[in-house]
Structure 1
Amino acid sequence: MHGSVTVAHVAFIEAVLDRTPAPLRGLVMQHHELIKFAIVGSTTAVFDLAIFYGLVLTVLGDKPTVAKIFSGVCAVILSYILNSEWSFKNRGGREKHHEALLFFVISGIGVLIMAAPIFIANNFFNLRQVDSKTTLIVVDFVLNYIVGNLLQMAFRFWALRRWAFPEEITTAPAQESIPVDDADSSSASADR
C-alpha cells in the first residue's frame, strides 16, 4: 500500500510536469532535477517535522538537538528512496551500494548542518530558558525548518549531483581512434 501511494504520487507529479504550459516548459525541463529535488525535500521536511515535534513535545523536550538528529536521519532514509528512484533516476554510473554510501554521508553532513542553528541557539543563547512553549515551538520551527533546512538543502543538492548522482561515469578507458589513412594502409597491407 505504501509503495503504491508513492508510485501514484510520483506519477501524478510527472503528469503535472509534462503538462506545463509551453512558455514555462523550457524552464521546467532545464531545472527538472531541482524541481523534483524540491518536491522530495518538501515531502521529507513534513515527515521530519512530524517526527521532530512528536519527540520534542513528548519524550525529548529538553533534548531538541537529539530529536532533530533522529528526525533528520529518518527523513534522510525516505529522501534516499525518493531521490534515487525519481529525482536523480536518469543519472548513473555508480553501483547502488556506492551511491547509497555517498548519499548517506552527504545527507549526514546535511543533518548536522540543519541541526547547527538549533544547537547554537540552545547551547550558546540558552533558548530553552524561555517560559513560553509556543515561543519555543515557533523558534524551533524557524531555526530547523527555515534556516537549517535552507542551508542543508543548498549543500545537499550541490553535493548529491556532484558525487552521489553524477552524470554518467565512463568506466571504460577512451579508445584511441585510428586515423583514416593509417586504417586504410594497415588493411591494405593485411590484404597483400
Structure 2
Amino acid sequence: MRVISTLYRRFAQLIHEVAKFGTVGAFAYVTQLAATNLFWYVLGLPELVGQALGTFCATVVAFLGNRFWTFRHRSHSGLLLAYVLFFGLNGVGLLIQVGCLWFTVGVLGLDGPLARNIAGNVVGVGLGSLFRFWSYRRWVFRAPVAAGESERA
C-alpha cells in the first residue's frame, strides 16, 4: 500500500491533468458532434463546411477548458501565441489521425466501416490525444518558471 501512495504522491499532478484533459476532450467531442450536426441538418450547410465549423467550435471549447481548468496552474503568458500554438498542434494531431486511417486503408488494404473506425476513431484519436497532451504541456501551457531559474536565464 505504501508503494501505491508513494507513486500517487509523485504523479498526482500528472494524474489530475490527464483526468481533466480527458474530461475537456469529452466535452469538446460532444460539442463537435452537436455543432456539426446543427450546421448540417438545421442550418443546411455543406458537409465540409459544417465539419470545419464543428471542429472549430470544439477546438475553442478544448482551448478554454484546458487553459482555464486542466492547465490553470501553468504559465499563461501570450494568449494569442498560445491559441496559435494550440490550433497548430491540433492540426498535427489531426494529421496523426488521418495518417492512421491512410495506413489502414492505403497500405493494409482494410477498407470496411469497422477498420476505418478503429483506425481513425480509436487508434488515430488515441495517438493524436497522447501527442496533444504532451505538446500542450510542453509548448502551450508550460510549467511556471521557478524563482531561481528565472535569475539564471
Q: Normalized against structure 2, the TM-score is what?
A: 0.67
Cα deviation, 1:72-121, whole Å, max 9, x if unaligned, reads 44422221111111111111152111111111111111122122223444
The residue type paired with residue 87 of structure 2 is F
2:59 corresponds to which residue?
A: 76
Aligned to 1:31, the other structure's residue is in SS state helix
Closer/same/farther in 2, CA of residues 28 and 167 from structure 1, 3 Å limit: closer
Find the residue that maps to 2:151 and give its secondary structure: coil
Query: Does the aligned pair in 1 maintain the 2:105–2:116 contact within 8 Å?
Result: no
Pick aligned residue for 1:108 from 76, 84, 91: 91
Match of 2:24 in 1: 40
Structure 1 alignment gaps of length 5 or more: 1-22, 131-135, 176-192
User: Equivalent residue for 1:167?
Assistant: 143
TM-fit CA distance, 1:156: 0.7
Aligned equivalents of 1:150, 1:143: Cα separation in 2:
10
Look up the match of 1:154.
Answer: 130
What letter is aligned with 2:117? F
Q: Greater helix share, 1 or 2?
A: 2
Structure 2 CA distance for partners of 1:126 and 1:69, relative to 1, 3 Å: farther
Q: Hey, what's the Cα distance between the residues in 2 that align with 1:51 and 1:139?
A: 26
Contiguous gaps of at least 5 residues in structure 2:
none
What is the CA distance between 1:44 and its match in structure 2?
A: 2.0
The separation in 1 between residues aligned to 2:118 and 2:54, in whole angstroms, is: 16
Aligned equivalents of 2:115 and 2:51: distance in 1? Answer: 13
Change (3 A) 1:70 1:151: farther
Q: Distance in 2 between matches of 1:121 and 1:53?
A: 27
Take 1:113 and 1:67, find their aligned partners in 2: how far apart are those partners? Answer: 22
Q: Distance in 1 between matches of 2:34 and 2:100?
A: 19
CA RMSD after TM alignment: 3.7
- 2:73 is the alignment partner of 1:90: yes
Counterpart-to-counterpart distance in 1, 2:110 and 2:8:
48
Deviation at 1:161, TM superposition (A): 0.4
SS of structure 2 residue aligned to 1:94: coil
Q: For 1:67 and 1:126, locate their aligned partners in 2 and report how far apart those are by CA, in whole Å.
A: 28
- Indicate how the Cα distance of structure 1 residues 173 and 79 shifts in structure 2: closer, same or farther if over 3 A, else same: closer
Q: What amino acid does structure 2 have at the position aligned with 1:157?
A: F
TM-score, normalising length: structure 1: 0.56
CA contact (8 A) 1:69 1:115 kept: no
**1:143, CA displacement in angstroms?**
2.4
How many pairs were matched up?
139
The answer on whether the counterparts of 1:73 and 1:111 sit within 8 Å (CA) in structure 2 is: no
Residue by residue over 1:34-69, the C-alpha shift from the partner in whole angstroms, topping out at 9 and shown as x without a partner, is 1101111222233345567886xx965xx8xx9876
